[in-house]
Amino acid sequence: MYRYILASLSPYAVLGAACLLGGGWAWGALIWMTVYVAVMDKLPVRPLAAADWAGAQVLPLVLAGAHFALLALAIPALVQGALTGAQAVALGAAVALCFGQVSNSNAHELIHRADRWQHWLGAAIYVSLLFGHHTSAHMRVHHLWVATPRDPNSARLGQGFWAFLPRAWVGSFRAGLTAERALRKGRGATPYRAYLAGAGAMLAAAWLLAGGRGILALVLLAGYAQIQLLLADYIQHYGLERKALANGRYEPARAHHSWNAPHWYSSAMMLNAPRHSDHHQNPGRDFAALRLDPEMPQWPYAMPIMAVLATVPPLWRRVMDPRVHAVCGARE
C-alpha cells in the first residue's frame, strides 16, 4: 500500500520544491507530472489488489493539507518575478495538472465520505479551484443519472471534448442547483451560497498573497484544473449508455457503463480513479478497496494519456468509437 503514499504525495513534494527553488525545478516539475508518470506506468508492476487498508482513511486528509499548502506556495511563486516566462508556464501547467489529477481525485474521495466534515473538506478543495458546485452536481446528479441524457457530465458517442466542455460546466452547475433546491423543497439555503462565498474568499486570499496578479494566477490554475476534471468526466463515460426501461426508469449503473484502466502508477497517484466502474456500483467504497475486473471496459492507454487524446477529437474518435461499438454490441 506504500505505492499510494509515494505516488500521490510525491507530486506535491516535487512541485512544492519547484515553487520554493524555482529555476530548472519548474521544468523538472512538469516532467514529473507528464513523462515520469507515463514511464512509471510502463514498468512491469502488478496493480494493487483491492483490499481494506487503514491508511485509506488517513491519506486523503494528508493530501488535502498538501493541496492547500501547494496552492499557497504556487500563487506567489508564479507572479513574484523569480521565474522566466517559460518557467512560469511550465510550473503553472505542472501545478494545475496536479490539482486536476491528484487533488480532484482526492476531493472526489472525500465528498463520498460519510463523515460530514470530511465531505466538506473535499468540497473545500473544489471551492479552492473555483469549482465548488461540482460537489453537488457529482453527488446529486452524476451518480443518479450517469450514462443517461439527464447527466450533463456523461459524453455522448461522437461528441468532441471541446463541445462537451461548456455543456458540462454550465449544465452541471444548473443541474446541481436544481437538485439541491428540490432536496430542500424551498426550505433553507442550498450549499451554492457556500460555494460562491468560498470562491470569493479564495480570490481575496490570492489578492493578499500576490495582489491582482495573484488573482490572475489562481484563475488560470483553477481554469486548467477544471479542464482536467471535465476531461476525466468526459473520458470515463464516453459513448456508454444505460438502457431506458419500459417503466420509464433506466437500468442500474453496471460495470459496462464506465471506462477503466489497469496502469499501476497513475492509478495509485489518482487514488484508483481509473477503477471507475466499481466506484459507480459501490460509491461508498474506499479507494483502496475498488476492484478492477476483466469484464469492465478498459481504455487502451493510461488515464492521463487518454485525457490528452481527448483534446484532439478526430484522434479520440478514431481510437474510442470502435471500442464503444464493441462494448455496446457485446451487450445487445
pLDDT tens, residue by residue, 226-268: 999 999 999 999 999 999 998 889 999 999 999 999 999 999 9
69-82 as b/e, with b when 16 or more CB fall inside 10 Å?
Answer: ebbbbbbbbbbeee
Domain contains 133: yes
pLDDT of residue 38: 97
Give the cell for residue 90: 511550465
HSE on the CB side for 178, CA within 13 Å?
11
Q: Is the pLDDT of residue 48 over 90?
A: no
pLDDT of residue 187: 78
Contact present, 195 and 135 (Cβ < 8 Å): yes
Q: pLDDT confidence of 330, banded at 50, 70, 90?
A: low
pLDDT of residue 331: 62
Q: What percent of the chain has pLDDT over 90?
A: 92
Domain contains 306: no
HSE on the CB side for 286, CA within 13 Å?
15
Q: How far apart are CA 253 and CA 262, in angstroms?
A: 20
* H-helix segments, the chain: 2-21, 25-31, 37-42, 55-79, 85-98, 104-111, 116-128, 133-136, 143-145, 161-184, 192-237, 264-269, 276-281, 303-310, 313-331
Contact present, 76 and 10 (Cβ < 8 Å): no
List, for residues 87-118, the tens digit of each pLDDT value.
Answer: 999 999 999 999 999 999 999 999 999 999 99
Who contacts 121 (Cβ-Cβ below 8 Å, separation ≥6)? 61, 64, 110
Domain contains 245: no
Domain contains 287: no
Q: Distance between the two ends of the chain, CA-based, in angstroms?
A: 39
Q: pLDDT confidence of 188, banded at 50, 70, 90?
A: confident
Mean pLDDT score, 1-20: 96
Mean pLDDT score, 205-226: 98
pLDDT of residue 134: 98
Domain contains 256: no
How many other C-beta atoms lie within 10 A of the C-beta of residue 230? 26
pTM of the model: 0.96
Domain contains 144: yes
Q: Is the pLDDT of residue 86 over 80?
A: yes
Q: Is the pLDDT of residue 50 over 70?
A: yes
Q: How far apart are CA 223 and CA 207, in angstroms?
A: 17
Alpha carbon 124 to its chain centroid, in Å, reads: 14
Q: Is the pLDDT of residue 185 over 90?
A: no
Domain contains 188: yes
Domain contains 164: yes
Q: Comparing 28-32, 186-190, 209-213, which segment has the lowest mean pLDDT?
A: 186-190
Mean pLDDT score, 41-64: 94
pLDDT of residue 191: 96
pLDDT of residue 332: 55
**Domain tally, the chain:** 1
Q: How far apart are CA 306 and CA 233, in angstroms?
A: 12
Range of the domain at 173: 2-46+56-237
List, for residues 120-168, the tens digit of each pLDDT value.
Answer: 999 999 999 999 999 999 999 999 999 999 999 999 999 999 999 999 9
Who contacts 288 (Cβ-Cβ below 8 Å, separation ≥6)? 1, 4, 48, 50, 51, 52, 53, 55, 56, 272
